[in-house]
Chain A
């Protein structure tokens, strides 16, 4: 009964979306406010209906209603409650429902809080948003209905893939989707602007918060996925350049470009066509990510079951959305002229450089991800493009941008001079050289490691120098500087935090990537292994019984110079229902590195086990860095100019933007 209600709500939402996609659009064209007024209630109603459907599915999971196919395939009565709930989106059908839930939530937010938007722009943006929704409703109802019944219902379910029964992965998809779908807002506004033929600072001021929000969540989603891979897969690695990982990373790269180019539109009324293009591309790449993951076109460890009808449907959706919007862009884009000029060495120039690198990087990762497919289409063998390709292309691309990133924020708008800026950065340069030398002394000459250290230091100190410059540190009395610090707009804080966070993340990636120490061996209880100055003593194993698994639990006591550091308990679990083993690594994090222990299989009959031990330096820095980036985005999002001072639809020149030099 509940399932039927959910199904019905979803169908109703489809029809509401069809109305929302057409009526307000015609209204905006005819400038008829009555027709346009359909948009807001429709968007809110659509959200309520989807939320209701989502609630129905959640109830079905929580109460283990095994008359629903999706519950049977992904749940089990013995599963802990939190994973019953996360099981709602831990499968294809449910995750699509989550996708439309977020999509309609964002639409409803625009409807509720977009009163200061010009009515034409709002109606068109909501109509475009509804068009995307129509596509997804049809996709769900026709090929992946979460409310499909199974007759007769079995006594118990098949359980959720145990790898997915994990807290990090329970919240990873919602975060990622908030990111993906958040870019749909920028996309809808871009299409609305193309239809209107007008892009101005007020437009950018509306698009930027959505982009910030999406970027913030996408960053978090990617980091969570990476974190999950780090502790759950038990290889001590955190990024594998797997197609599915790339699928989320590519929109992040182009989204980062969009984030920066929209600043130029907002402040300087330039790069308009380019920004629209990025908005289209970023959302298209999010859709592409969905297509790649859901259709099984690319093989990956994460792939859900291959289903051609779904693949065809998503491809059709992709062709309509991306093809249609790019055609619209080709037609209307040339009309978006901006007569604002700027010198190559200027804030705009710096942001444009960021954009060029980010889009090139996105294209490179996309190429690397799709290359196996293309080669096969042309009759070549099946190849896999892995880390070596990306390390050889992506890393060198990033280096010049990261170097320029310390200087960019100090350039002035329109026209600037590099020399005084570089003069102020001497301290960052010295710091980078010193730290590289220190690291070289301690760790030796791993080239990647030294480059990473140098760049991370340069960027971090450079960002701090920029903050110091802003508050005139050491040039005016300290009290004045602090007062200036207090008056610093949140957007500027956001930039400082995000850039410094990136520097810290790079340090973490460098540490964990280059200086990882690992040791694989067979150990008898009582034997010890020494690794990076720590002594790991294997104390033996114990069998334990979890709620829906059995586990072999090992005990390692770790000491350093005879002093106890920590006791680690890695597990090897066997999830009974799916008969699938998982490794639960035991991790002890410190600021300088993680102690990471994995227990393998027994060897021989005398109680020896295969054990893998790692010392992963600076891993925590990655997570801290990403959190700083997210916090930076949140700070920027809460900036005064987005809360009050409603964006007015006048071609307001950016009074004194150069003087205050906001980011």
Chain B
């Protein structure tokens, strides 16, 4: 169990950091061991219907790669050098036994690498279930929506086979409610950071989000409340930083040092696409009526735009980024994509073009989850922050 959060942000952040660096997922292991019959279901970044796992009485566990601490010994033997890093560290986590307590894994349809990884999982860990979550790119209720409901139903059946218990509509509604609360708190945290980025630094916000990937949502909600209260009670010195939106880190995770480096270089991150699953839906998912349908409706009509998702309307393409810049009073955009990341790097020229048309300054670089050398990034971001100030002064 977590300690009751104290008022100091440092204590909460420390707890989150411990969870973040624990690549054996001990918190989740302990949770599972507490009660017989509990299941833990892993999911990869981007989006997963965590409510379903929760409603099955399970813990959805975010498996977000190995970061810069995991030594990849086996994983490299499964991937050519020109494939991004997250699948190989995920394989490493599996092969090294760090996920041996996990009952199943969910793979969202984000790109061909994750798609193929779902099949590799089936071959390599046949005793653990692998569920590919095929997300709709058609946004009509009776087309993509209907299909997505069928995918969700299939996922429920998959989970039910694991627990031997049916997932009821009431359980689903209760789970949606608790995740609605989680998303509300996270939205609040984002608003607070956009208002006072010096008081709620992005490196802390990121750790808070990551903590939510490995502990029960109820505990995470407590943690978030504690953090929000603590931030409101404190005041840290405000710097003359430039305000930026970071875009591109929706799958392979940036090293924590990268986020810190951006901040140290003179930028306040006021919006980002870190751990999107925590605020995929822009507002509460409805509780009345058919819960799976409600999740599908939220997915289709009230969720974030992001590179891996199809945008049917060309006139809206990339505008989410412009909106984010406006809404959060940002002065520029930093594109940070994982090396070899198809969805991100194919999308980048489009987004750059949209920003150019709206006169929004931008820079771009690539990273890997284990990038160690931050100096070039710090310099690039620093020059960017300076030039923003120059432009705005001009």
**Is A bound to B?**
no
- Partner-A contacts on B (CB < 8 A): none
Report which A residues bind B (CB closer than 8 A).
none
